[in-house]
Structure formats: C-alpha cells, structure tokens
Homo-oligomer: A and B are copies of this chain.
Amino acid sequence: MPEPTEDRSEFRNGPERCDAPEFRKDSIVDRWVIIARHRAERPHELVESTPQRPAGSICPFCEGHEQQTTQEILAIRAPGTQPNTPGWNVRVVPNKYPAVLSNAEEAVPPAAGFYQSQPGFGAHEVIIESPRHVISTTDESVETLTEVLWIYRQRLIELRRDSRLKYGLIFKNVGAAAGASIEHTHSQLVAMPLVPTSVAEELSAAEHFYRANGRCIYCQLLADELSFGQRIVFESPGFVAFCPYAPRFPFETWIVPRLHASHYETLAEGGAAELAMALRTVVAKIEVTLARPAYNYIIHTGSFDTFGVEHYHWHIEIIPRVTKTAGFEWGTGFFINPMPPEEAAGVLRACDTMS
C-alpha cells in the first residue's frame, strides 16, 4: 500500500463545516453531491415513511397559511391584495429547506485538490401552483398551468442576470415515490453556479452532433419520430410529445417544441398556453393509464451563459415513477425498462382523457 508523502490535510473536512450546504465532488468519478445538513435533524427522521404533509391546517402551501412559508418573491394575485396574504393564484417563495443558499458563498470556504468542495451557493425557489390543496398538474386548469409555465420563464430570465449563476433547473415531483415531501402541487427551480453533470453531457453531445452533421440533433429526432409515427403520443401545432427510442422508465414521454429554440426563456405567451395544454394532456394520459402514478417532469434547457444556440433544443421530460431503481441501475448506469416505447406510445396515444 503506498504511503502518502505530501501534505494531505485538505481532506480534513469535519462535521463542523456542514451546517450550510456544501458541494462535494467524488474524488474518483465526476459526481457532485450536495451535503445539505439542515434538511435532516436526526438519523431516524431520514426514513421517509410518511413524507407527505396532508391537507388541512398543517399544509404550508394552502391559501391562508402564507405565514408558514418564506416571504414571496413573486405572485399572481387579485388586484388590491397584499404580498404574503390570501388572494393569489400562483406563488413563488424561497425553499425553506434549500439545497443551495444565496448567502452560502461566505459560509463554507472552498477546499481544493483531491477532496474537492465548494459552497452550496445558488437559489432554490418553490412555485406553488394553486391556492387549493390539489396534488397534480392535471388538478390545475389550463389557464393556471399557463401562468405557472410563464412564471418559470420569468424566473429564469431574472436569475440568469446574476453572472455567478450558470444554470437554472426546473422540475416537479408529484407523489412520495417521486420524492415529493409536500403533497400540495408545486414545482421547484434550483439555480446553480455550475452546469450540472447530466446537462453538461447532453449539451456537449448535442454540440458534437451539430459539428458533425450541421443540424440540431433534436430537430433530427423530431423529424424521425414524426416520420416513424409509432412513438408519437400527442401533437399540437407547436409541440410534439413522444416516447423516446431508449427510455429509462416505462411511459417516459418527452414534449419537444417543433421550432428550433435552445432556451425555455424564448417561450412566447401563446406558446405557454399551448404548452400548458400539451403538458396537461400528456400527464392526464399517463395518469389514466397508470392510475395516477408518482411522476417527475424536468425542463431541459440551455445554460445561462449561452442564448440562441444552434445545437441545443429545449424540451420537457416526463418520467412516471412506477419502477424502482435497484442495484443493477446503480451498479451499471443502465436502466431496465419492461415497456417498449412503441407499445407505451400506442397506449398513451389511444388513451382518451375526456372519459
């Protein structure tokens, strides 16, 4: 066994440093972990047996409980109503238990070398999508969902002004199996000082394809899928929903704008209404087919330090969470999917959400 010869004191990160969120990098593979100590108090509280707070007096996201959340950043509310009081339809607040903190920069001095660490700096916001205690995107009207999708755009435009932030990730968790810790319908935005690994891989692969082929890989995929037809789930004038060729999860469905656009921020007002209709329809088809499963959706968009690039194409990935990731997935990075996407798309395409 080799003896360490140089000064290796940089790995001496002790628990006293962990009260603010800290990004740590695995020293072997390129994998970042956010240690966010304040999210758990004691070991047994980690066991998420009853993770979802029900309706009633204790839901902090219901109208009338505005004092239980942090101060609102933005809200769509009735004329004459005051911030942090009833009268709103959609409300944006900082996450009470953030994975990243806007003042974290001073809290944790960065470490370097073999044991890489940096402060968990960034913004973590919650978009509360209804004043009523409903659970899923399909419990919202198309009008409200349009407002939500428009707010995503507004927050991305606002956050990209901060030159320290490199990426804004928007996602939604519905159901305990999808990681939701509060039942009341909401989505989240995490803005980070680095482009996350999965996004960087996707951007880099798309750029590589563009250089080799002179066209956007997503435009190509879209043309292929429309021509093939068997994996199409839903079409509207501006959007196409399809099950991808190599889906990780059964009934995984992507919604892609027909016209090339690298950034979600380019969404137009009419586009938001049409996207709301498409998203609501696809989620409804999944919910009818799988009896309201847990699901996540994630907006894939370009990084804050670029805009209007030719090689990338924003889209939404919807992943129903009916299968569990097991040792095989964690050991390989491969996914086992029991449902061919051609068959899943056929079922979803035929599914009538009106009945």
Contact = CB atoms under 8 A, between A and B. Distances in A.
Interface of A: 1-4, 8, 11-15, 18, 24-40, 43-44, 46-48, 51, 99, 114-115, 169, 171-173, 176-180, 188, 190, 192, 196-199, 201-202, 205-206, 209, 215-224, 227-228, 230, 244-248, 250-251, 258-260, 289-291, 293, 296-298, 300, 319, 322-344, 346-347
Given A2-B215, A202-B28, A245 B173 contact: no
A246 B31 contact: yes
A224 B11 contact: yes
Contacts of A48: 322-324
Contacts of A230: 14-15
Give the number of copies in the complex.
2
A347 B46 CA distance: 14
A18 B342 contact: yes
Nearest to A244: B26
B99 A336 contact: yes
A interface SS class:
mixed
A330 B40 contact: no
A200 to B, nearest CB: 9
Contacts of A14: 230, 342
Given A43-B290, A43-B344, 13 more contacts: A11-B228, A15-B346, A18-B343, A24-B246, A28-B202, A46-B250, A47-B293, A179-B323, A179-B329, A190-B332, A196-B333, A197-B334, A325-B325
